[in-house]
Structure 1
Amino acid sequence: MSRPLGLALGWALDQAVGDPGRWHPVAGFGSVATALEQRTYAARRADGVAHIALLVAATAGLGAVAERTARRSDVVHTLVTAAATWAVLGGRSLTREAATIDDQLRRGDLDAARVQVRNLVGRDTTRLDGDEVARACIESLAENTSDAVVAPLLWGGLLGVPGLLGYRAVNTLDAMVGHRNDRYREFGWAAARLDDGANWVPARVAAATALAGAGSRERALRGWAAIRRDAPAHPSPNGGVVEAAFAGVLGVRLGGSNAYDGLVEDRGTLGDGPVASVQDIAPATRLARRVGAGSLAVAVIWSVRGRPRRRR
């Protein structure tokens, strides 16, 4: 039972204190990846595949060594799993950012909110109005709850410490190089495709837990209708599912056009309620917390059911 207990402790630690202010392991991984890119980069898919394979294999391998070593003691294995879980989760930091943006918009400080929301999204925020900032915040809450909470917990429940660290490596590399600009269109292709695959099941678990935590049958049905009707129009095979679920459950409309590096991208319309506004950030944050807690329950069940039976 050390794996499920470690997952639960790590999740609780993330909820209590969030990310470390300094010496964050994910930031350290990013620095290593950036340094390696200076040697591996070329505008070819094969070079991107090699870059991703080396970093993900090394990170997952480190997790496997830690797991094997820690298994000599249930207490040590629990603590190592908890530490790894805490290091890769981002739920508390995500909701803190949302609370800050909520407060800035309610105080009428739109300029500050435009700057703050850049911590969550990659779109151009300089000309967004208050409702558009709120929409960006809620969309990030939905997608990043799936990416930074649900997915690592599920991979941790399935594969333990190697799953936790390996998934975080995949997701971080997608954020670093999985872009469609001139530099990374080919080199970052593997990172983007691998991240899509790693998040396919977690995104649907996130959507399902959002419906389960909707609070009423009507909201859950509204979320399911939004997923079926609107998610296919979203450019992301995973983000659209989660964002549509949130839009339906919250009774708001998300999606639309966003500007990225001067290019406008149509993200589709998600939900059929009124346009999301600042008053919807707090309910979205509460829903994100319920999704995180629900995914922890799923991960614990997976880890218990997948535990090898001892020979008698």
Structure 2
Amino acid sequence: MTFALTMALALLLDWLFGWPGWLYARIGHPVTWIGRVITQLETRLNRSDASRSHRIMVGAVAGLFVVAMCAVAGLLLQAVLPDGFLGAVLGALLAWPLLAARSLHDHVADVQQPLAAGNVERARNAVSMIVGRDPAQLDEAGIARSAIESLAENTSDGVVAPLFWGVLFGLPGIAAYKAVNTLDSMIGYRNDKYEAYGKPAALFDDLVNWIPARLTGLVLVLVSPDRHQAWQVMRRDAGLHRSPNAGWPEAAMAAGLNCRLSGPRTYGDRLEQHPWVNDGAPDPDAATIASALVMLKRCLAVVAGLLVVLAILD
């Protein structure tokens, strides 16, 4: 039996239950476990007085250690699973917390609902939980753009990419991917503290997301109202994004929703100029976020269907 059935069941568990608060209170979450290891290594190894080349080297070694640790843990767990359907179910229980479809939906819905009710301040607080930019600088259109951009990017990073590597390699694949993604989210920043130490993590994250980001874009094109237009915009604008990968799902979703995304943004006291994705389209609003959540559900349905087909074909 392939790993596709395991991943399909894991996606179902994630969508039905997310990661329950009572379970988080009791045992935490695998990402927080990985995060503790990353923090401990960074505290010891990322010395500000070291040369840039040294910091890059130790960052690479630390990153490889974290990824190898997670891959080996996945391999050992997979080795003791029984064959057949029972093994797929048990594997799904282990892979379940490494997906984030339900969490992604709920966090974006938490932005959409107060924005639709006219409570801009509450919407700002909700969007600050999922993006790094300064929420105080965001108007209603900026809040909506931020939520939709996060939804598009994390549909790839939090759902399609872990499933992709899980289908290929099972528990070691999805666990190693989650380690890479967590490393990038914690140390893959272009600032004085992390530019050198986190550079290997950022590059590796770009590498492992290359195929999944483009697959996500294709699925979002497929579930768009005007597939031809979405395809054209994705091909034209994906390369405008500052990320080599995030532009694909973001451009596809922008076209599917008939809105513009990206553009200038503020991080702290720094204004960064970025080109518009799907320039010429109107700004998004709360209703657009609601439509984006519908696109997410359709995307997940397509992905789940593909996983079932792969499992049947085995």
**1:68-79 to 2 correspondences below 5 Å:** 68-70=79-81, 72-79=82-89
Aligned with 1:41 (options 41, 46, 55)? 46
Superposition deviation, residue 75 in structure 1 = 4.2
**1:138-217 to 2 correspondences below 5 Å:** 138-215=148-225
What code does the residue aligned with 2:249 have? V
Say if 2:288 is the partner of 1:280.
Answer: yes
Say if 2:109 is the partner of 1:102.
Answer: no
Aligned with 1:118 (options 128, 132, 149)? 128
DSSP 3-state at the match of 1:126: helix
TM-score between the two structures when normalised by the length of structure 1:
0.92
Q: Given the superposition, is the C-alpha separation of residues 127 and 170 from structure 1 closer, same or farther in structure 2, using an over 3 Å criterion?
A: same
What code does the residue aligned with 1:269 have? W
What's the % identity of the aligned pairs? Answer: 38
| Residues 63-110 of structure 1 deviation map (CA, whole Å, 9 limit, x = unaligned) | 01111121x332442133212331111111111111111111112111
Residue aligning to 1:53: 64
Residue aligning to 2:102: 92
Residue aligning to 2:14: 14
DSSP 3-state at the match of 2:272: strand
Superposition deviation, residue 139 in structure 1 = 0.6
**Cα distance in 1, alignment partners of residues 12 and 170 from structure 2:** 17
**Cα distance in 2, alignment partners of residues 182 and 143 from structure 1:** 25
| Aligned partners of 2:5 and 2:311 also within 8 Å | no
What code does the residue aligned with 1:241 have? W
**Cα distance in 2, alignment partners of residues 299 and 261 from structure 1:** 42
| Aligned partners of 2:70 and 2:179 also within 8 Å | yes
| Aligned partners of 2:5 and 2:307 also within 8 Å | no
Aligned with 2:142 (options 132, 143, 149)? 132
What code does the residue aligned with 2:262 have? G
Aligned with 1:243 (options 225, 244, 250)? 250
| Residues 163-189 of structure 1 deviation map (CA, whole Å, 9 limit, x = unaligned) | 110101100110000000110000000
DSSP 3-state at the match of 2:80: helix
Superposition deviation, residue 156 in structure 1 = 0.5
Number of aligned residues: 302
Say if 2:277 is the partner of 1:266.
Answer: no
Superposition deviation, residue 4 in structure 1 = 2.4
Superposition deviation, residue 2 in structure 1 = 6.0
| Aligned partners of 1:150 and 1:296 also within 8 Å | no
**Cα distance in 1, alignment partners of residues 72 and 311 from structure 2:** 20
What code does the residue aligned with 2:15 have? Q
Residue aligning to 1:232: 239
Aligned with 1:26 (options 14, 31, 45)? 31
What code does the residue aligned with 2:287 have? Q
| Aligned partners of 2:2 and 2:311 also within 8 Å | no
**Cα distance in 2, alignment partners of residues 154 and 138 from structure 1:** 22
Runs of 4+ aligned structure 1 residues displaced above 3 Å come to 296-305
**Cα distance in 1, alignment partners of residues 103 and 159 from structure 2:** 11
Identify the range of structure 1 (18-27 vs 171-180) with the bigger mean alpha-carbon deviation.
18-27
Q: Given the superposition, is the C-alpha separation of residues 303 and 47 from structure 1 closer, same or farther in structure 2, using an over 3 Å criterion?
A: farther
TM-score between the two structures when normalised by the length of structure 2:
0.91
Identify the range of structure 1 (138-147 vs 283-292) with the bigger mean alpha-carbon deviation.
283-292
**Cα distance in 2, alignment partners of residues 268 and 127 from structure 1:** 18
**Cα distance in 2, alignment partners of residues 265 and 84 from structure 1:** 40
